[in-house]
Amino acid sequence: MSELAQQWLTRRLAGLEPSDFVDGILFFCTAALVPPPSFQQAWIVYQDHLGSPWPLERAEEMSQLPAIPIFCDPSDDAQVASMSRIVQAIDGNGQEAPPIIWVPHTVPPDAGQPSTQVDPMDPRLGGVIGNLLHIGLDGLVPGEPEGHMLALVVRARLRKLATVSRTLNDVVNERRSRARYVDQLRECMNCTLWQYSRSRLAPCIPPIDPALPSGELRRIDGFDVGAQVGQSLFGRVCRLQLPDGNAEQNGAGQHDGLVAKVLDKSKVVGLHELKFIRRQLDVLQLLSKSEWAHPNLIQLQQIYHTSTHIIVRMDLGGRENLHQRLLARQAEGDDERPLPEHRCLAVVEQAINALAHIHLGPEVCHRDVKTENFAIRDADGEPLVLKLADFEWAIAQPKSSLCRSKCGTVPFVAPEVVLQREWDGMASDVRSLGIVLLELLCGTNFLERHLSSLLARGPRGRRFWRRVDDPSIGQMLRHAFQNPSLPSVLLQAECRPELQSLVPAASALVDGMVEVQPRLRWDATKMRDGLEAFPRLSAQQRGDLVLEE
């Protein structure tokens, strides 16, 4: 076979010079075949299976070559393995590697042997060809042409590879140019949004602090950023701890701890989102002023601004929210944590006082009052403390002004928020708090038991809300409470046994707060006056906190 392969090589290269292929070309062969004398200086025999050394003396030269054809018998596994080693070694030069072309070489077609020529395009060799192309082979010569046809085919392959290479380079360069343009455009938009627009539309956000690193912060202003405890529209909420692992005291000297709301600026893509952040920060700053600070409101501590994030440091308020606390009250066995009457009274009083304060004082409406947005600290031996939190949807609402955004959470949201184009944010807050009080007195997910077609319940009490802008939701909520006394009727039927003594005082309160017609619904003043019907609590039971001067 080797003699026939030698004869065939002599015939194929007869009358040719290396320059007929391309100037400066270098040939590899995976069999011990001798080329015509004119090819001797441009010919390397490499048989990896026989331990042939790699021609290190020509390694530097290979990166300067215009092309490297490899004569290899595709029917010989040992030769194919040697060719794979050649391709890997040459392609290791990266972008400097020359084109590598496979020239199949077996025996003369007239040798009288069956299947003397093996077509590398044969599907049976698909795996071999695919592997070679994957590791760096650039092309192959179909069939086994000879003489000037062989040189022409190789030149044609090189010309096609050069054309493809230029096309790819043009595409890459164009995409790089577009990417640079996009980066420049993004930088201009970022500058416009976070410098010019911020200073004009959201001055509550401080300028970018160059001393703060970009990306996710692990430490800020002496605090370690700890575990995530919540989620917001533009980021997440994380605990803040001192380096020794202890939670920091808040401004009132209580061990509530602190949190950082980390807002990802990449999610803020326009002025609408910037104004949204501005509204909540304006409200937090307003409610944290000494004039409007309140023991039952979360207090803002500091706002930081990096090139990638806005970090809002504020009170944690408690290790759980009211929804989680009510679930613990309903748990069974060792997980049950009772909530006695005097502590429920403390929740009622503090929740109403918090909402009445923001309505009657700074004229702020929360617009997403629900059990999940009340932080609670309820430790044995300490007074219960409730704080209204999560002011993402909050907005200052002067008298006679109305809201338009569809916001809130079913089933706490008022029907008019879903059904009307404009609605009174403060009236909707009162209605939402009324549902919160019903859940406090009757049990969490209480309303779902009476509106089973409205909501679906998930594992561990998690709720899967339907969209608040679905008109059918508003119609169902409005229809369900057409009877003005339905809240008190439900309260009398469903109130928890240990809280039955509160039903007489709470009946008028929930009827007035959950009233379907906004014009007939109690306002903050009536709601606060309704507390007079409840039993009086001692200072220790009430859990009052005194703000530091």
- Please say whether the beta carbons of 255 and 242 come within 8 A: no
Q: Give a yes or no: residue 177 inside a domain.
A: no
Q: Is the pLDDT of residue 282 over 90?
A: yes
**Whether residue 369 sits in one domain with residue 290:** no
Residues 450-499 have pLDDT tens digits of 776 444 444 444 444 456 777 888 888 888 888 889 999 999 999 999 99
**Whether residue 411 sits in one domain with residue 309:** no
Tell me which of 315, 339, 374 is where a domain ends: 315
**Whether residue 480 sits in one domain with residue 400:** yes
User: Could you tell me the two tokens for 108?
Assistant: 């003369």
**Whether residue 363 sits in one domain with residue 471:** yes
pLDDT for residue 544: 43
| Residue type at position 443 | G
Average predicted confidence (pLDDT) for the chain: 87
Q: Is the pLDDT of residue 177 over 60?
A: yes
> How many domains does the chain divide into?
3
* pLDDT band at 250; cut points 50, 70, 90: very low
**Whether residue 8 sits in one domain with residue 21:** yes
pLDDT for residue 117: 58
Q: What is the CATH number of the domain that holds 45?
A: 3.40.50
pLDDT for residue 547: 38
pLDDT for residue 506: 96
Residues 74-104 have pLDDT tens digits of 988 999 999 999 999 888 888 888 999 999 9
Q: Give a yes or no: residue 197 inside a domain.
A: no
Q: What is the CATH number of the domain that holds 299?
A: 3.30.200.20
Residues 320-373 have pLDDT tens digits of 999 999 999 999 888 899 999 999 999 999 999 999 999 999 999 999 999 999
381 is in which domain, residue-wise? 320-542
DSSP 266: G
User: Could you tell me the two tokens for 225?
Assistant: 């950023």
DSSP 336: -
pLDDT for residue 247: 55
Tokens 């980021």, located at residue: 235
- Does the global pTM surpass 0.75? no
Q: Is the pLDDT of residue 264 over 90?
A: yes
> Which pairing describes strands 43-45 and 27-29: parallel, antiparallel, or unpaired?
parallel
Mean pLDDT over 30-39 rounds to 94
- Residue 278: Cβ within 10 Å count: 17
pLDDT for residue 543: 47
Which of 106-120, 403-417, 490-504, 524-538 is the least confident region? Answer: 106-120
Q: Give a yes or no: residue 179 inside a domain.
A: no
- Residue 449: Cβ within 10 Å count: 13
CA 454, chain centre distance (Å): 30
Q: Give a yes or no: residue 50 inside a domain.
A: yes
Q: Give a yes or no: residue 195 inside a domain.
A: no
Which of 175-184, 197-206, 530-539 is the least confident region? Answer: 530-539
Tell me which of 315, 331, 358 is where a domain ends: 315
Q: What percent of the chain is predicted at pLDDT more than 70?
A: 89
In the chain, how long is the greatest CA-to-CA distance? 115
- Please say whether the beta carbons of 412 and 370 come within 8 A: yes
**pLDDT top residue among 41 and 116:** 41
Q: Is the pLDDT of residue 25 over 90?
A: yes
Paired with 43 in beta bridges are 27
> Which pairing describes strands 385-388 and 374-377: parallel, antiparallel, or unpaired?
antiparallel
Alpha helices (runs of H) in 56-214, residue ranges in sequence order: 59-62, 77-91, 126-135, 147-191, 198-201
Q: Give a yes or no: residue 181 inside a domain.
A: no
| Residue type at position 418 | V
Q: What is the CATH number of the domain that holds 366?
A: 1.10.510.10
CA–CA distance, 17 with 7 (Å, rounded to integer): 18
Closest CA to 417 of 402, 396, 439: 402
Mean pLDDT over 234-256 rounds to 66
CA–CA distance, 260 with 12 (Å, rounded to integer): 77
- Please say whether the beta carbons of 265 and 194 come within 8 A: yes
**Whether residue 135 sits in one domain with residue 226:** no
**Whether residue 345 sits in one domain with residue 310:** no
Radius of gyration of the chain (CA): 39
CA–CA distance, 386 with 82 (Å, rounded to integer): 77
Residues 211-232 have pLDDT tens digits of 999 988 889 888 999 988 888 8
pLDDT for residue 216: 85
Half-sphere exposure of residue 13: CA atoms within 13 angstroms, side-chain side: 23
**Whether residue 107 sits in one domain with residue 16:** yes
Mean pLDDT over 234-240 rounds to 90
Paired with 228 in beta bridges are 238
Which of 125-139, 272-286, 320-334, 495-509 is the least confident region? Answer: 125-139
CA–CA distance, 439 with 194 (Å, rounded to integer): 42
Tell me which of 130, 150, 170 is where a domain ends: 170
**Whether residue 136 sits in one domain with residue 17:** yes
**Whether residue 367 sits in one domain with residue 491:** yes
The CA–CA distances, whole Å, from 299 to 331, 438, 545 equal: 31, 27, 13
The CA–CA distances, whole Å, from 352 to 217, 464, 506 equal: 37, 27, 12
**Whether residue 105 sits in one domain with residue 54:** yes
**Whether residue 356 sits in one domain with residue 272:** no
